[in-house]
Amino acid sequence: MSVKQITPAQVHEILDKDKNAVYLDVRTQPEFENGRVPGAVNIPVMLPDPATRRMTPNPDFLQLVESRYPKDKKIIVGCQMGGRSQHAAEILVQAGFSDVSNMQGGFGGAKDAMGRLVAPGWLQANLPVEK
């Protein structure tokens, strides 16, 4: 089973219509606190390692999601640009979650190596932001 890709506008529509759907924000806590999709739940898939100053996998990610949601829960995964959320969504699908989507462009929009926007995110779509 592959991960469904959906736009920020589609995410907004789904969350507006389906009150049982959950938006899982897999960014770090500081990123999450700086602004998020309204009603989002934060479970980081990666955590900063102070010793190496690099991001490392959150060893508790899957367990935290599994303890909170049934495998048939509609889960939309998002991050800052779409990469971490794609990885997190794949982890969930491999673990047996059956209704998982990735928000293309993430919260802040995906950019190429030159810094050009290649996939608009939640912010570029001018959708509501919670702080």
End-to-end CA distance of the chain: 34
State the virtual CA torsion across 65, 68, 69, 75 in degrees, nearest 10.
Answer: -50
Return d(Cα 20, Cα 114) in angstroms, integer.
Answer: 39
| Angle, vertex CA 101, rays to CA 36 and CA 73, nearest 5 | 90
Q: State the burial class of residue 58 (Cβ atoms within 10 Å of its Cβ: 0-12, 13-18, 19+).
A: middle
d(CA 128, CA 12): 9
* Domain boundaries, given as residue ranges, for the chain: 4-119
Write out pLDDT tens, residues 79-120: 999 999 999 999 999 999 999 999 999 999 999 999 999 999
Catalytic residue among 79, 91, 92, 119: 79
Per-chain mean pLDDT for the chain: 97
Clarify whether 10 is annotated catalytic: no
* Domain 4-119 homologous superfamily, CATH: Rhodanese-like domain (3.40.250.10)
